[in-house]
Amino acid sequence: MNRRRRLSSTKFKGLYLFSANQPQISGSTKSFGWLCNTVEEIEPLGLDILRDNLKLPVWCIGPLIPTEALKNSSTLDLKVSRQRAGKELCFSAEKCLEWLDSQGLNSVIYISFGSQNTISATQMMELAVGLEEIGKPFVWVIRPPVGFDLKGVFKAEWLPDGFEERMSKRKQGLLVHNWAPQLEILSHKSTGFFVSHCGWN
């Protein structure tokens, strides 16, 4: 087993960063190759892992950034954002941005592991405990942990007892189930930190 395969099966195992069970991976085996919205120099290891596992050509054509993403968050068209994502929000994008507006400059931690990835139940519990202890404001796009349907119902038992209610009451944290307006959050002046799965964001 070479080093890249060890990395893909051990270091990244908890986040399911490369899994033949993911629809976009399993479906790609019937294609002639992959077009990736990235640059070879930025993600050489990840691209090598893709090439090694897919046994197909992988071409970098990025970065392709939507025009709306280049605008200031105060001028972003939220309707365009929702159409681009093709997903429904658990609450309005306006509510999310209003919450961000109420926070200090560069003070908010944004946490998202992408639309196809998640963390283990133990990691989720520890992350919640850590966030509560540091007392910093955060937006967390949260999905069921590893081993559960990512599109399934989120269970309160995966977080410390009463966590979501406490965070809401203290106005410390905003938990977003399923999908959030990521471009708007990342371009907002109050967002200062980004915890991610290291995808192309």
Question: Domain coordinates of the chain in residue numbers?
Answer: 10-60, 72-196
pLDDT by residue, tens only, the chain of 201 residues: 333 333 333 333 333 444 555 566 677 777 888 888 888 888 899 889 888 888 889 999 877 766 665 565 444 555 545 444 445 555 678 888 999 999 999 999 999 988 778 899 999 999 999 999 999 999 999 999 999 988 888 999 999 999 999 999 999 999 998 788 888 899 899 999 999 887 654
Q: Where are the alpha helices (DSSP H) in the chain?
A: 3-9, 23-28, 44-54, 78-85, 93-101, 121-134, 163-170, 182-186
- pLDDT score for 91: 62
List the helix and strand counts (H, then E) for the chain: 8, 6
Domain 72-196: assigned CATH number: 3.40.50.2000
Give the separation between CA 157 and CA 162, rounded to whole angstroms: 9
Q: What are the tokens at 40?
A: 């070879």
Q: What is the pTM of this model?
A: 0.66
Q: What are the tokens at 111?
A: 């946490």
- pLDDT score for 196: 86
CA distances from 172 to 32, 132, 136, 144, 197 (A): 47, 8, 7, 21, 23
